[in-house]
Amino acid sequence: MLQIYSFGQSDRGLKRSNNEDAFLVNPEKGFFLVADGMGGAAAGEVASQIFVDTAFEVLTKKGGGSEQKTHQLVQEVFGLANERILNHTKQNPQHQGMGCTAELLVLYGQNYLVGHVGDSRTYLFRQNQLRQLTRDHSVVQDQIDQGVITPEEAKMHSLRNIILRAVGIEESIAVDLVRGKTFPGDLFLLCSDGLTDMVENPSIQEILSVAIPLDQKGQKLIELAKSAGGHDNITVVLCEVALP
């Protein structure tokens, strides 16, 4: 059984009047998530909370186990949350347009599985190197991939906030799944774009490299995003596989 240390915190930031992000850490069951609500007046915080509640319900009742079962449960979380958000919108037309991006990390055995939709991100920090496990579902990321713009140009692009996938928008949902082996000392970072829009990857890596407690690393990341402008809600979840 893996021994896991974890930390989660969400901050409204400096510009927004409310916090539409939500997160959950459950080291006992081995799952961790970040959801970033979208829709503003359309109640993005409701969508992100529906995702959190759905993940808790599915993953605590049914548990993990084999790779196939874990794969099915992650898909079930996204599918059921998508359905529930759409149903909420039908019953509450004033919330039309609400949805959320979502990162869901499940640890099972000596493995990890990440479910990803939107432009929140999951990173793996291993042997002092930071690696982004997920690819943003966004207009600018597609343009970067096609060579139309550079990553530097994307930061100031007029369409940089347009995402191509979210939970609760379409009847069907395509979920990216990223899997791999876990090793002692691995540190996973799940975060909303309120962090990554403000803080570059080298700065994130630098903070994660410092030999300080997990909660201090998380708080430093949030403070760095706020000192850079804090334009959005900022949510950070850290999950570390303990060394023997």
Q: How do residues 72-117 score in pLDDT, each as one tens digit?
A: 999 999 999 999 999 999 999 999 999 999 999 999 989 999 999 9
Rounded to whole angstroms, the Cα distance separating 83 from 92 reads: 14
* CA-wise closest residue to 120 among 26, 221, 34: 34
CA distance 190 to 205: 13
Residue-wise over 157-175: b if at least 16 C-beta within 10 A, else e? eeebeebebbbbbeeebeb
CATH no. for residue 172? 3.60.40.10
Domains in the chain, number = 1
228 assigned to some structural domain: yes
Task: Please check the confidence at residue 142 and state whether its pLDDT lies above 70.
Answer: yes
User: Which pLDDT does position 232 carry in this prediction?
Assistant: 94
Is the residue at 222 inside a domain? yes
Q: What is the largest CA-CA distance in the chain?
A: 52
Better-scored residue on pLDDT, 66 or 155: 66
Q: What is the pLDDT of residue 112?
A: 96
**Residue that is written with structure tokens 């700065």 in the block:** 203
Q: Is 100 exposed, middle or buried, given 0-12, 13-18 or 19+ CB atoms closer than 10 A?
A: buried
Domain presence at residue 158: no
pLDDT given at position 147: 84
Residue-level pLDDT at 135: 95
Distance CA 209, CA 223 (A): 16
Mean pLDDT computed over every residue of the chain: 93
Domain that holds residue 66: 4-136+164-241
Establish if 178 belongs to a structural domain.
yes
* Contacts for 87 with CB less than 8 Å, ≥ 6 apart: none
pLDDT at 41: 60
